[in-house]
Amino acid sequence: MKTQQCNVGVIMRRSPADHKWLDEVWTPEAVLSEAPGTPAWTPLGMDGDATLIYAGEAQLELFSSDTAFYRDNLLSGEAKLWVALKRDMASGALEIMKVTADPNEGEICFESGAEIVGTVPLPDPLAEWIADFTNEHHVERPFIKRQRDKSGPDPRKNPGARMRGPG
């Protein structure tokens, strides 16, 4: 499996929450195609009542086995990156967990303990880099439909039927 990676910068938006149990809401704002030398969690300025903050550097990794997903993302008309953050249990600070261009991996982040998962538009330089990687490594894999084993009744369709075998 071939891989490539690049370091990107993540910008987050911290907004006041209009909720009795939350003080603030964090959402991904943008991903920079190159990580600047700015220290993580540096405030960048205000946007209305929200604060834009440079959250830090993350590694965007591409895998040759996932090129079909990257291609689908690029062809969607609104290519995105998924950004996932989790809270460090000891310090309570947010940490960047993942930045990915794979929609399936982005969805998995919801189930893997990420506290914040959001999408941002895919910057043009990264879109070109992902397209080049996809064009170079994509192999079309035919869909092969599995055949049902016809050796006995299917207990899912007939709960009273028993499968053949020992016993």
3-state secondary structure of 156: coil
Residue type at position 140: E
Secondary structure of 18-44 in HEC code, one letter for each residue: CCCCCCEEEEEEEEECCCCCCCCCEEE
**What is the rounded CA–CA span in Å between residue 81 and residue 119?**
6
Domain assignment of residue 78, yes or no: yes
pLDDT at residue 80 tops 90 = yes
Domain assignment of residue 128, yes or no: yes
Residue pLDDT, tens place only, 20-59: 887 888 999 999 999 998 999 999 999 889 999 999 999 9
**What is the rounded CA–CA span in Å between residue 72 and residue 49?**
36
- pLDDT, averaged across the chain: 88
The answer to whether the beta carbons of residues 154 and 161 sit under 8 Å apart is yes
Residues 43, 48, 54: CA angle, nearest 5 degrees: 20
Domain assignment of residue 147, yes or no: no
Domain assignment of residue 145, yes or no: no
This prediction has a pTM of: 0.80
Domain assignment of residue 152, yes or no: no
pLDDT at residue 1 tops 60 = yes
Q: Which residue segment(s) compose the domain that 74 sits in?
A: 3-135
Residue 18: its pLDDT value, please?
A: 85
Residue 165: its pLDDT value, please?
A: 56
How far are the Cα atoms of 31, 44, 92, 114, 136 from residue 65, in angstroms, in the given order? 24, 37, 35, 24, 12
Residue 122: its pLDDT value, please?
A: 97
Domain assignment of residue 35, yes or no: yes
**Number of structural domains in the chain:** 1
Domain assignment of residue 164, yes or no: no
Residues 6+ apart with CB under 8 A from 43: 51, 52, 53
Domain assignment of residue 144, yes or no: no
**What is the rounded CA–CA span in Å between residue 29 and residue 50?**
11
Between 97 and 159, where is the model more confident?
Answer: 97
